[in-house]
Structure 1
């Protein structure tokens, strides 16, 4: 039990300990596989609470984890026996429509941000699940439906306010603490606690054209090959991913489609929906689909399409990724064979196409380390029965090992499993940017106070 009397004297938010009635609810995160028991959860009401919590933890030598939206698969938002600095009640958003800017507090989700910005027909490039936290996604890069047109979430940052390990509040931007700002655009939660972000916004919606067409997995070779060629030649308005999946037995799908194994193409057209409808015709006419849910829908609805399949604390998750050196026939054959052997049907095998603006930005312009690849493979392991955990995680790791012969140099740090490879994983994720990141870590967090993350170690360690 942590003696909270000193912190309690100034802290305006809630301090939750194991004997409190809401403790078990408050220690939940999105991933139901994670079951950790912190000694203290400090639910901050504002940046002053964050500063107090950091100073209290440092003074008393308490291990710290940081929770924004609590959506990270790895579960590093929680810690056993330490202190969770929780920003989930800091969800304020201010939109300056004339300047196309939004200031967003560190506990907000992308659903929160989309709701406010779409009032003005604007949006910041976010993720593909609306319950994802703005902070975690952005600090790890931020793959979303607008990545080819407008880049990653981190590419649209204008500035941040951050509390560092010594309890100091700093602004980081291209002109203030520029090295720190460079590191925060992809370098994760290694350098402090970001209490607010300022994003550049883009005109999007209110209606967009979505492609969501699902073909029988038996024609996967044709679908995958067609999709690859289409995406390589596609305009920046189209961002897409391809999924091997089994349609769940839910009301979201017609009876005759449920349970069928499919290869699905999902894509958004960021532009005129009528032009998008024409552009997606080729993808929707590869063969007779099992199901075609494509259509013109509100942007805010498109952002929630995957939400029902990834509920908070109800399912178990293990997401891991690696860049692909190419998507040649040998690679495609290995992907298809792997997809056939998934141990539970709820698992997804996803191929993300990069390209466009996110690849035009130089690999050294931000910390994000995979600017020079075209395709990312992610094993999105989702399961419901705890008895399947060992089987699913073991299969996922073995499949990724088998695919290393086709892999590129990097991976997506937000899809890193449980980070079990430690420093080797982090070095792979950041590539040539890793050395610079270690120097910045040493400057701003020399004692590695913030280490429950995909950890970049300071030089002193």
Structure 2
């Protein structure tokens, strides 16, 4: 495989002449700014960025990388924990300029460009009283979150993001352009719903949106010493709660504002709630929650985009991140004991653990209906070591790995691919697709036999 440095200037100039977008090279003044991504722990030096502005640019870039045997990475929002939107010495196809959002109120669908962020989608849909199920941080890219699955506040009521994907436009490894849906290129449509970026570059998504305007929610916090008690209650409560109510469990330290000063730098377990049902029933629904006597609660009505962006200020781009994830079929006493143990040893104020329920609408899709293979799991868990100081990178990484190793023997065996780093190995990738890996591999063999799209949680074609 060649590096960009091995290409002659004439071939690069010829390539650039066919683009409407621009190239960013290591000698350019904006190179270091361009190579920044959300995870500041990732420090990769691509040989070239192609800032695509349309599908033609994407097609030309894919062809250029394939014909010259250049390592190719695809970057949408740049939020991937493992930094899989970058590569050393190769070519980064950047989609961040392919942005557009069109809301169709005749059928409540939303067309979104491959470079959009979820906060931009929320901004466009909210005036119409609509929302597309997504994650919990509004700066996340639409493409990466969707292709991995999409777990968030609306999962119990409206399913994963992929369950609301109706159609996508793709550029394949051979440079051709296709549209995939339930009636067109159905094998690819199945594969991209959970199979990541293994099969092509998505330039456009079409989603089903749902009536969501004002929600009732926010955090409830308890001292970390109550982790086992609150987790046992939560496990029973959330499984039988109305699907309009979502709540994800967390162990955390309160880092500072906007929380009260009395809570700062103290360790807690907590649940962040989001209720999308009849607001007149919210106070009654939350009575058993508040009866658990949280030390702090800040629940109430808010616009949906507000809960989606609630943590953006605490977690800006450029922090050090290390992730580990697993699925869980239960929250038994052995599991809650591990959460108490490691939740009491959080190394930095921004490090935390989350457990997202995979119940309700998300669980009613079959394990084989999409590439996302853990519909029967009850929770998707993620542990993240986070800190602004690179000097603490080893500390947060070690805590994260230790926490994960304590929990993994009690897990369902695989992880949500969006919660994986790039150093976990091929067996972890296989475990995360479980029984669907074989079918994904066959589709990969058809559409990307040379594994051009390999900078991802890779499905090997051979």
Same fold (TM over 0.5): yes
Q: Which residue of the partner structure matches residue 428 of structure 2?
A: 425
Q: Which residue of the partner structure matches residue 461 of structure 2?
A: 458
Q: Which residue of the partner structure matches residue 88 of structure 1?
A: 96
Note the C-alpha offset of 1:246.
Answer: 0.7
Q: Is the 8 A contact 2:218 2:307 kept in 1?
A: no
> What TM-score, normalized to structure 2?
0.96
Q: Which residue of the partner structure matches residue 234 of structure 2?
A: 227
Q: Is the 8 A contact 1:209 1:274 kept in 2?
A: no
> What TM-score, normalized to structure 1?
0.96
Q: Is the 8 A contact 1:65 1:84 kept in 2?
A: yes
User: Following TM superposition, where does structure 1 have runs of at least 4 consecutive aligned residues deviating by more than 4 angstroms?
Assistant: none
Structure 1 residue ranges without an equivalent (≥5): none
Task: Indicate which of 261, 283, 289 corresponds to 1:283.
Answer: 289
CA distance in 1, matches of 2:281, 2:232: 23
Task: Indicate which of 439, 444, 447 corresponds to 1:441.
Answer: 444
Q: Is the 8 A contact 2:77 2:139 kept in 1?
A: yes
Note the C-alpha offset of 1:376.
Answer: 2.3
Corresponding position: 1:408 with 2:445: no
Structure 2 residue ranges without an equivalent (≥5): none
CA distance in 1, matches of 2:290, 2:199: 45
CA distance in 2, matches of 1:274, 1:256: 32
Corresponding position: 1:385 with 2:389: yes
Note the C-alpha offset of 1:342.
Answer: 2.6
Corresponding position: 1:61 with 2:69: yes
CA distance in 2, matches of 1:288, 1:90: 44
Q: Which residue of the partner structure matches residue 181 of structure 1?
A: 189
Q: Is the 8 A contact 2:221 2:294 kept in 1?
A: no
Note the C-alpha offset of 1:79.
Answer: 0.8
Q: Which residue of the partner structure matches residue 257 of structure 1?
A: 263
Could you report, residue by residue, the CA deviation over 1:409-430 in whole angstroms, capped at 9, with x for unpaired residues?
32111001x2312211111111
Note the C-alpha offset of 1:288.
Answer: 4.4
**What is the aligned-residue RMSD (CA, Å)?**
1.2
Q: Is the 8 A contact 1:373 1:408 kept in 2?
A: yes
Could you report, residue by residue, the CA deviation over 1:230-283 in whole angstroms, capped at 9, with x for unpaired residues?
10111111111111111112x312222211211111011112223233212222
Note the C-alpha offset of 1:402.
Answer: 2.2
Could you report, residue by residue, the CA deviation over 1:129-151 in whole angstroms, capped at 9, with x for unpaired residues?
00000000000000011101110
CA distance in 2, matches of 1:6, 1:240: 53
Note the C-alpha offset of 1:307.
Answer: 0.7
Q: Is the 8 A contact 2:74 2:86 kept in 1?
A: yes
Corresponding position: 1:218 with 2:231: no
Could you report, residue by residue, the CA deviation over 1:176-214 in whole angstroms, capped at 9, with x for unpaired residues?
110100000000000010000000110101x11013111
Corresponding position: 1:310 with 2:325: no
Counting only pairs closer than 5 Å after superposition, residues 29-178 of structure 1 correspond to structure 2 as 29-178=37-186
- In the alignment of these two chains, the number of paired residues is 454
CA distance in 2, matches of 1:6, 1:73: 34
Q: Is the 8 A contact 2:130 2:210 kept in 1?
A: yes
Q: Is the 8 A contact 1:95 1:103 kept in 2?
A: yes
Secondary structure, in 3 states, of the residue corresponding to 1:91? coil
Q: Is the 8 A contact 1:212 1:265 kept in 2?
A: yes
Corresponding position: 1:237 with 2:244: yes
Corresponding position: 1:16 with 2:21: no
